[in-house]
Amino acid sequence: MDRFDRIFELNRILNQRRTPVSCAALRERLECSRATLNRTIQDMRNCLNMPIAYDRERNGYYLDRGQDPGFELPGLWLNASELHALLLIQELLANIQPGLLEQELAPVRDRIRDLLRHRGIGHPAIDQRIRILPIAARPVDLPKFRRIASALLDRRQMRILYHGRARDKTTEREISPQRIVYYRNNWYLDAWCHSNKGLRSFSLDRIHVVLVYPEKPAIEISEKKLLGHYASAYGIFAGRADKTAVLRFSARAAAWVADEQWHPRQEGKTLETGEYELRVPYHNPTELIMDILKYGPDVEVLQPAELRRQVAERHRQAAAMYAAGK
C-alpha cells in the first residue's frame, strides 16, 4: 500500500468509527510499521488539517469532530485499484461503442494516468493488457446513438423510421424510449410504441431517422412491467414466457452447459449418466433454436414436441445441403 492509499484508507477507517481505533489495529489494516503509521498521521494533521486525536485511556486514534464536525478530505480521493477500475471502464466503453464520450473522457483518462505515474504505481497500458473481441457486432452511427441516448435520458418521445429485417419493410413509429440494452455485442432500444400501443425492441442499427419531440414527455413504463415483458422470455425476443424447453446435453457438453446461464429462471441437473438436463422458459423460439443448434449432436430437445420438430427440421435441411454438395 503506497502513501496516498494509506492516507485514503486511514481516513475511511476513522470516518466509519465513533470510538478510538488502536494502533495495532490500524497497523494491521494499513499494512505498515508503527513509524510509518505515525508519519501518516502527522502528514494528515499537518498537511490536510485532519483533526486526528489520541485517546490515552482507550489507547486509540479517532476523529475529534468537536474541532471540525464537517471535515472531509479535499477533492476526489481514489485508491490505486479504483483508478485502475476507472481506466478499465473507459477502455470497455471505447471498445463497445467507439467514439462514445471520447472527447469528454479523454481529459479524465489522462489525469488518472498522471496520478498513477505520480504515485509510482505504474502507467498501465490498458489497451495492451485487455483484449475485447466483439463478434458479429453491427456498428451504430455515433451521432444517432447520442440523439437516442439523450432522448432516453431527457424522457422525450421520438419519431423514427425503422427497417425490420424479418419483413424487409420500413415503418414510421412514434415511441417513448424506456432503456438502451447492450446484448450479444449489439445495441437495442426498449420502447413503448405509440403506433402499435405496446412494448417493442428496436435494433439501433436499423433506426434510420430520428426526430426528438422536446415538447412531448415520454410515457413511463414501470420497471415491473418492463421486466415482465422483456426478462421472462428468452433472449432479446420479448413476450411473457409461456413454454418450457427441456434439453438433454451429452456428458461431453455438460461440463460447459452446467456453468452457463441461458435464462435467469432456468433449472438444470446432472443425470446419473453424466448428461445434463436443462429446462429453459421461452416465448419466441428463434434465438433459443440458434443456441441449441450450436451444440450440434451434443444436445437433444425432449420437449415440447413443436420445438423438437423445428430443431430436427433445421438439422435435416443442413444435412441435405451438405449431401447435395458432394
Which of 63, 96, 114 is the C-terminal boundary of a domain? Answer: 63
211 in any annotated domain? yes
Tell me, what CATH number does 219's domain have?
2.30.30
What is the pTM (predicted TM-score) of this model?
A: 0.62
236 in any annotated domain? no
Over residues 237-255, mean pLDDT: 89
Residues 261 and 217 reside in one and the same domain: no
137 in any annotated domain? no
Residues 222 and 164 reside in one and the same domain: yes
Over residues 268-297, mean pLDDT: 93
Domain encompassing residue 91? 81-129
Tell me, what CATH number does 318's domain have?
3.30.70
76 in any annotated domain? no
The pLDDT of residue 179: 92
Residue at grid coordinates 504505481: 121
Helices (H), the chain: 3-16, 23-30, 34-48, 80-96, 102-118, 126-129, 142-154, 223-226, 251-257, 286-293, 305-324
68 in any annotated domain? no
The pLDDT of residue 108: 67
Residues 284 and 218 reside in one and the same domain: no
**How far is Cα 6 from Cα 11, in angstroms, rounded to an integer?**
8
Over residues 184-199, mean pLDDT: 90
Length in residues, the chain: 326
**How far is Cα 244 from Cα 306, in angstroms, rounded to an integer?**
11
Q: Residue 15 contacts by C-beta under 8 Å, 6 or more apart in sequence? A: 63
| Peptide bond just before 304 cis, omega within 30 deg | yes
Residues 171 and 221 reside in one and the same domain: yes
Which of 163, 198, 230 is the C-terminal boundary of a domain? Answer: 230
Q: Is residue 99 scored above 80 in pLDDT?
A: no
Residues 124 and 197 reside in one and the same domain: no
Domain total of the chain:
4
Residues 275 and 320 reside in one and the same domain: yes
The pLDDT tens digits of the residues spanning 126-152 come to 666 666 677 777 888 888 888 898 899
Q: Is residue 115 scored above 70 in pLDDT?
A: no
Q: Is residue 8 scored above 70 in pLDDT?
A: yes
Distances (CA, A) of 299 to 250, 281, 311: 6, 17, 10
The pLDDT of residue 5: 75
The pLDDT of residue 137: 77
Phi, psi of 309 (to 5 degrees): -65, -40
Percent of the chain scoring above 90 in pLDDT: 37
Q: Is residue 31 scored above 70 in pLDDT?
A: yes
The pLDDT of residue 2: 66
The pLDDT of residue 228: 77
Q: Is residue 199 scored above 80 in pLDDT?
A: yes
Average per-residue pLDDT in the chain? 83
The pLDDT of residue 122: 57
Residues 110 and 160 reside in one and the same domain: no
237 in any annotated domain? no
Tell me, what CATH number does 59's domain have?
1.10.10.10
The pLDDT of residue 134: 72
The pLDDT of residue 225: 87
Residues 155 and 217 reside in one and the same domain: yes
All cell numbers assigned to 127: 489497451
305 in any annotated domain? yes
Which of 202, 230, 258 is the C-terminal boundary of a domain? Answer: 230
Percent of the chain scoring above 70 in pLDDT: 77
235 in any annotated domain? no
Residues 251 and 311 reside in one and the same domain: yes
The pLDDT of residue 121: 57
